[in-house]
Structure 1
Amino acid sequence: GTGYVGEWFNGLPNGQGVLTIHPRDVFNGSFVSGEYSGNGTYLWMDGRTYKGNWKNGQRHGKGAQTWVDGSSYVGNWKNNKFDKWGSFYWSDGNSYQGAVEDGKIQGQGLHYRWSDGAMFKCAKLKTCFNDGKLVPSNGKFIKSKRHAENENIGRRVIPGEGWYFGSFSNSGTVRSGKGTMYFLNGDRYVGSWSNDIIEGKGAYIHKEGSKYIGTFNNNLPNGDKGFYKFNNLDEYRGEFRRGHIEGFGNMTYKNGRTYSGNWNNWKRFGEGVMNFRNGDKYHGIWDDGRGQGEVEYADGSKYNGSFNEDMKDGNGTFFYDNGAVYVGGFKNGDKDGYGSYTWADGAKYEGKWYRNLKNGVGIYSFSNGDKYVGNFTDDRFHGFGTYYWSNGARYEGSHIHDSRTGIGKIVYSDGTELVGDWDDGRFVEPISTTTRSTTTTTVATTSTMPPTTSPVPVTSTNSSKTMSREERIKRRRMMARRRRMKNRRQTPGGSDKFRRRKKRPRGSNEQAE
Structure 2
Amino acid sequence: MPISKCPQKSEALWKVWDQKAQKNGLKHQVYAVNGDHYVGEWKDNMKHGKGRQIWKKKGAIYEGDWKLGKRDGYGTLSLLDQETGKHRRVYSGWWKGDKKSGYGIQFFGPKEYYEGEWCGNQRNGWGRMYYSNGDIFEGQWRNDKPEGEGMLRLKNGNRYEGYWQRGLKNGSGRFFHLDHGQLFEGFWVDDIAKCGTMIDFGRDEAPEPTRFPIPEVKILDPDGILEEALAMFKKKEEQED
Question: What corresponds to 1:250 in structure 2?
Answer: 21
Q: 2:216 aligns with which of 461, 465, 473?
A: 465
Residues 484 and 292 of structure 1: CA distance in aligned 2, closer, same or farther (over 3 Å): closer
Residues 333 and 486 of structure 1: CA distance in aligned 2, closer, same or farther (over 3 Å): closer
Residues 391 and 270 of structure 1: CA distance in aligned 2, closer, same or farther (over 3 Å): same
Provide the secondary structure at the position in 2 that maps to 1:279: coil
How far the C-alpha of 1:411 sits from its partner, in A, is: 1.0
Alignment of 1:275 onto 2:31: yes
List aligned pairs for 1:222-371, cutoff 5 A. 226-227=16-17, 236=18, 245=19, 249-251=20-22, 268-286=24-42, 290-298=48-56, 299-322=58-81, 323-371=88-136
| Distance (whole Å) between structure 1 residues aligned to residue 25 and residue 222 of structure 2 | 66
Residues 381 and 434 of structure 1: CA distance in aligned 2, closer, same or farther (over 3 Å): same
Question: What corresponds to 2:190 in structure 1?
Answer: 424
Contact 2:124–2:144, Cα closer than 8 Å, also in 1 = yes
Q: 2:178 aligns with which of 413, 438, 462?
A: 413
With the length of structure 1 as denominator, give the TM-score of the two structures. 0.38
List aligned pairs for 1:100-499, cutoff 5 A. 195=6, 197-198=8-9, 200=10, 203=12, 212-213=13-14, 226-227=16-17, 236=18, 245=19, 249-251=20-22, 268-286=24-42, 290-298=48-56, 299-322=58-81, 323-414=88-179, 415-431=181-197, 433-435=199-201, 463-465=214-216, 478-483=224-229
| Distance (whole Å) between structure 2 residues aligned to residue 458 and residue 479 of structure 1 | 28
Deviation string, structure 1 residues 202-228 (Cα, Å, up to 9, x no partner): 53xxxxxxxx537xxxxxxxxxxx22x
| Distance (whole Å) between structure 1 residues aligned to residue 215 and residue 200 of structure 2 | 7
| Distance (whole Å) between structure 2 residues aligned to residue 319 and residue 306 of structure 1 | 15
| Distance (whole Å) between structure 2 residues aligned to residue 329 and residue 485 of structure 1 | 40
Deviation string, structure 1 residues 113-161 (Cα, Å, up to 9, x no partner): xxxxxxxxxxxxxxxxxxxxxxxxxxxxxxxxxxxxxxxxxxxxxxxxx
Q: Which has the larger radius of gyration?
A: 1
Structure with more contact order per residue of length (Cα contacts < 8 Å, sep ≥ 6): 2
Q: What stretches of structure 1 of length at least 5 have no aligned partner? A: 1-169, 177-193, 204-211, 215-225, 228-235, 237-244, 252-258, 260-267, 438-456, 488-513
| Distance (whole Å) between structure 2 residues aligned to residue 402 and residue 337 of structure 1 | 21
- Which consecutive aligned stretches of 4+ in structure 1 deviate over 6 angstroms post-superposition? 457-460, 484-487
Residues 436 and 318 of structure 1: CA distance in aligned 2, closer, same or farther (over 3 Å): closer
Deviation string, structure 1 residues 357-389 (Cα, Å, up to 9, x no partner): 111100000122110001111111111110011
How far the C-alpha of 1:485 sits from its partner, in A, is: 8.7
List aligned pairs for 1:6-21, cutoff 5 A. none
With the length of structure 2 as denominator, give the TM-score of the two structures. 0.76
| Distance (whole Å) between structure 2 residues aligned to residue 486 and residue 378 of structure 1 | 21
Contact 1:398–1:408, Cα closer than 8 Å, also in 2 = yes
Could you say which structure has the higher helix fraction?
2
| Distance (whole Å) between structure 1 residues aligned to residue 188 and residue 26 of structure 2 | 58
Contact 1:348–1:366, Cα closer than 8 Å, also in 2 = yes
Q: Amino acid of the residue matched to residue 367 of structure 1?
A: S
Contact 1:359–1:379, Cα closer than 8 Å, also in 2 = yes
Number of residue pairs matched? 217
Q: Amino acid of the residue matched to residue 193 of structure 2?
A: F
Deviation string, structure 1 residues 219-240 (Cα, Å, up to 9, x no partner): xxxxxxx22xxxxxxxx3xxxx
How far the C-alpha of 1:475 sits from its partner, in A, is: 5.1
Q: Amino acid of the residue matched to residue 6 of structure 2?
A: N
| Distance (whole Å) between structure 2 residues aligned to residue 417 and residue 410 of structure 1 | 6
Q: What stretches of structure 2 of length at least 5 have no aligned partner? A: 82-87, 204-208, 234-241
Contact 1:301–1:319, Cα closer than 8 Å, also in 2 = yes
Deviation string, structure 1 residues 336-361 (Cα, Å, up to 9, x no partner): 10000112332010000001111110
Residues 343 and 312 of structure 1: CA distance in aligned 2, closer, same or farther (over 3 Å): same
